[in-house]
Amino acid sequence: MTVLERFLRYVKIDTQSNPETGAHPSTKKQFDLARTLLAELQAMGVEAELDAHCYLYASLPANREGLKTIGFIAHMDTEPVVSGKDVKPQIVRYLGGAVPLSPEKVLSADEFPSLNAYLGEELVVTDGSTLLGADDKAGVAEIMQLVECLTDHPEIPHGKIGIAFTPDEEIGEGADFFDVQKFGCEFAYTVDGGPIGEISYETFNAASALFLFHGRNIHPGFAKGKMRNCCLMIQDALNCFPAEETPAATEGREGFYHVEGMESGIETGKLSLIIRDHDKTRFEERKEFVRSVQAVLEQKYGTGSVEVEVKDSYYNMKEKIEPHMHLVENAEKAIRAVGVTPFRLAVRGGTDGSRLSFMGLPCPNLGTGGHNCHSIYEYVSIPSLEKGVEVLKNIVALYAEQ
């Protein structure tokens, strides 16, 4: 089976996660892909285990003594907001301009200039009604193709190779039940999204904030000095936040506050937002600012009118990777060997590797060739899928040499 055949097979399996269920995994259908992968691994003669929380672990024993262990990790779920059901991938050769996905939708280089890098190449695109699932089934397919290569060619020297496929990364829970001890590797790479050549070992520090508002309803004809309207309290809260520090107004290493949702009546209201910053000191200042908003509102509306809970989500993994920069340097060598110029990207988000690095598994991220993730305009070039496999093989070879 080729990496393309694997990818086309996997994207047709619906694995959307759901942040509302409170279950682990958040959706049972993620087991459909996990069981498919388990069967494929077992057919290759690879030792593998699927646990109750939908984490699939596999390992290839070392075939040479004294070599370091290394792992590769990808997530199986897709974005909850854009449909991942009945994905119908299409293969087109990109000749420039716009690619028709459906009668109503086109993938255009005017809107997505990244297409210009793939002129003359075959792309896998959507039919305009769903996402594609390259995030992260491209990573899954590339890792599985690596496993097949190593099992078919036992003469290739390597230390122990750990493989893991996780659920619920898209809802921030991909590392919740990850068993680092069972995985049994000194370090690893997540293989998750972005063009081939991308290496990410710097992420946001991340937190969530939830405001709860407690109002008081009084007949509007007699409300002066008595009514406390949560709708207006939310408005006042939003006015406290700087308009120039939102996702739509920031880039690079600039942090932000992002309002994710609100709901309100007069007596009760809720406002949820996330806090992001690459700089740890600035991150802590942002959290304190959120708490100060509560104080400002309570001064106006009264003690007990507003509650806020600030909860850390993950941290910038840079501090955990920098003592092990061989991970980045070897990835760069592996990428150059396939004719691609590597580049380091500070992620405006997080990966499973963010949390895994703080759990004792230093874990930078490698691009898979995917573009426009979480979108009906998602695509991946077929040569990029193939180069992704070669990059992983080169990393294995580099650690065998060392």
- For residues 151 and 145, what is the distance between their CA atoms, to the nearest angstrom? 10
- Do 30 and 121 touch, CB atoms closer than 8 A? no
Helices (H), 245-381: 280-301, 318-321, 326-336, 352-358
Residue at 289: amino acid letter: F
CA angle 210, 307, 204 (to 5 degrees): 30
Q: Which of 14, 77, 168, 198 is catalytic?
A: 77
- For residues 162 and 395, what is the distance between their CA atoms, to the nearest angstrom? 13
- For residues 142 and 395, what is the distance between their CA atoms, to the nearest angstrom? 13
- Do 353 and 180 touch, CB atoms closer than 8 A? no
- Do 140 and 370 touch, CB atoms closer than 8 A? no
Using alpha carbons, select from 199, 133, 113 the residue that is nearest to residue 373: 133
Q: Is 169 a residue of the active site? A: yes
How many whole angstroms from its chain centre is CA 184? 23
Using alpha carbons, select from 344, 315, 346 the residue that is nearest to residue 327: 344
Q: Which of 14, 135, 168, 169 is catalytic?
A: 169
- For residues 163 and 184, what is the distance between their CA atoms, to the nearest angstrom? 10
User: How is residue 389 written in tokens?
Assistant: 């496999």
- For residue 167, cis peptide bond before it (omega within 30 degrees of 0): no
The catalytic residue positions are 77, 169
